Structure 1
C-alpha cells in the first residue's frame, strides 16, 4: 500500500525546498547593491519558472530515465511525464510506483533541487548580466549540465546498482542531498561565468556593500528552514533516519556560523551579521552530502571546519582577480568540496544507513577515493561546459550589459524598475487627519 505519511512528508519537503529559491532571492537581493536588487531576485524567479517547465517536459526523463551507460537517463522515456500520471492513478492494493510513495511525489521533490541549483549560479554575475541572456543560459545549462549530473549522483534503480548513475549508484559515492550535483556543480559554473563576464566596474577599488542586511538574514533563515526538507527527506522516508539527518542539519550550520564569526573576530576585530548569515549557508552546504553519513558530533565538526575554511575562501577572489560578486564560489564550491571530502574522514557506520566508516573510525582509503574523484569530475565538467556555453552566448547574444546600463543601474536598464522609491521622500507629506497633501515646509512649520 502507498504510505500516506511518507507521501505527505516528501510533498511537504518538496514545498520546503521550493521555498528555498525565493529565500535565495532575498539572501542574494540583500547582499547586492541597491541598484541591482530586483535583477538579482528576478534571476532566481526566472530560474524557478523556466526550470519547472523544462523538468516536466524532458528534465525528469534525462535525470531519472533508465540509465544509458551511467551517464544520462533515457531522454524519451518520460517526456511530458508520459506514463507516470497513469501509473500513479492506477496504483491499487500493493501496486506502488516507487517504494511506498507515488512517483510524482519524487518528481516534485527533485524538481525543486533542479530549480535552486540554477538560481545559485546567479550570485556570481550580479549587476552585469543581461536578463534575457541569463534565461537562455539557464535553459541550456540545466539541460546539458544539471540534468546529466543529477543522473550521475541521484539515479538509483532498485537493487541493480550497475544500472544507475556512475557516481552514486555504480561508484558508491556518499552524497545524500547534492554536495556534488547541487553545490560543487553550481559553484564551478559560477566561477566559469565570472570569468566570461569579467569584473564589475570598480571591483577591488570601490566599496560594494550589501544594501539590506536584514533581508540577508531573513533569506538565510528561510534557507535554513527549507534545508530541513532538502536534507531530511532525501532518504525518502519518514523515520529515525530522517530524524538524525534533521538534527545534523541543525547543528552543522550552527557550528559553521560560530566558526565564521570567530574568524571575523580574530581577523577583523568584529563579528558581522553578514558573516553570521554566510556561515549558516556554508554549514548547510557542507552538511548536505554528509548529513546521512555522520553522527551529530561529526556534523558539528564538518560545520565548524566549513565555516572557517569558507570564511577565508571568500577572499580568494581578490587575490586571484575573479569577481564572484556574492561569494558563490567561496561558499558553495568550497563548502561543497569540504563537505563531500570530509565524509571520508567522519563517516560512521553506527549513524548511517550507508554502513561505512571513515578514516577516523578505522575505515580505509577507498572511501576517500570515492568522495574525491567524483567531486573533481563534477567540478571539471561543470566548469568546462559552462565556460563554453557562456562564451557562445557572449559571442552571439551578448552576455554583459553595456557600460552605461551598468553605471545607471541594472534594475532600471533591464527591468525599468527600482527596488526602492526615493523620488517622493521629502517632497510631499500626506496628512491623514486632513486628507490633504502638504509640503514638507508646511509640515515642519
Structure 2
C-alpha cells in the first residue's frame, strides 16, 4: 500500500488556525456558515458536492418534487466566504495523534480543530440482507430507487392479467411509523388515489393498498398521544392500513412477514431505524448501540477537546440525561453553537460553553390538508398545521430559486393533483418484474 500524500493544512491565511468539517448536512453546513468571515481557515469535506434538504426527500420518492428542487451545490452556498475551502472526498479515517483526516485517495488533511457531522444511515436491526428488498430514504439515490420501484410496480400491474398478482404488485408496505414512514405512506396513498387514477386502463390505481407497519403501540411515537391519534385516523381516511404492535419478521423480494402472516407486496420501504455513520470507528472511541459517539456537554469527544461531533453522529444529552432526538433542528442548532463560539475560543482562548437545545417545535405532514405540530404547550393539527408545515419547510430550503420552485409546484399539485416528477430512472427492469417471471416459471 502506497504511503499517503503529505498532510496539508489548506490554509487561506498563514498563521490562522485550521478547522476541518466533515459532512455538509445541517450541522456541518451551519458550523461552516458561522465560521465564514472569521479569522479561521475552514476546510469542508463531503463525498457529495451538494447539500440535501432531507426532510423533503420523501417528496422526491413519491414523485412530487425533482431532486434539484431540494438540493443546492455546497460551493454556491458558501461562495461568499473566502476563508472556506470545499473538498470533494471520501473520508477513510482519522488520526487523532497526528491530527489529520485521511481521504480515500491518499490525501491527508491536517487540522487544529475537527468537526465531525457525517449523519446516519439505515438500520435493519441485524438483518442487513433486507436492505436490497426494502430501501430506506436517506439519499437522492434512495429516493430515485423508491420512486422507480413504486411506479414500475404500477406499470407491471398494467400488463399483468392475473387480478391477484395485479393487487400484489400495487401493494406498498412502509415499515416504521415515525415522521418519514407516516409522510411516505400518506404521499403514496395520494399518488395512487389521485395522480395515477386516470393514467392506467387495465388497473385501478385507487384500489392500491398501502400498509404502514409499526412495532410500537402508535404512530408518531415522538408526538403527544392526541396528535398521534389524529395522525392514525387521518392516515386511515387516506386509505392507508395502519398496523401497530406489528413487528416485521422477514423481508423478501416478494413481500414481508408480519405476525406470522406473509403479505405480498410490489414495493417495501424501510423507515424503522437509523444508525450513525462509521465516525466512531474512525475515531476509535466509545459509541452506543446505534453507533453514535458519546460527547460531553460542549459536544467534544471526552479526552479530545479539539474534536467535536454533531448531529445524528453524536450521542448528546438533555440536561435531564435523556438523549437528544435525531432531528434536523438539533443538528442545525449544534452546528450554529459550535461555529459561533469556536472562532472566539481559538482567538482568545475562551471556554466552549455547553450546548443547550431549544425545542422550536416538531412537525409532520400526513397528506393533503393534514399535518400535526407540537410546540410543547401548544398543539396544532389539521389544515392550519399543514399550512404551517409548508411555510416552515419552504423557509428552511436554501436558495431563493428552490423556494420559488417548490412553492409553485406545491400550488399546482394542490389545485390539480398533478405530480410532474413521475420518471422511472436508473432501473430498466424492476425487481417486481423479475419476481413475476420467477413465479410464472415456477408454476
TM-score with structure 1 setting the length: 0.31
Could you say which structure has the higher strand fraction? 2
Name the one with the larger helix percent: 1
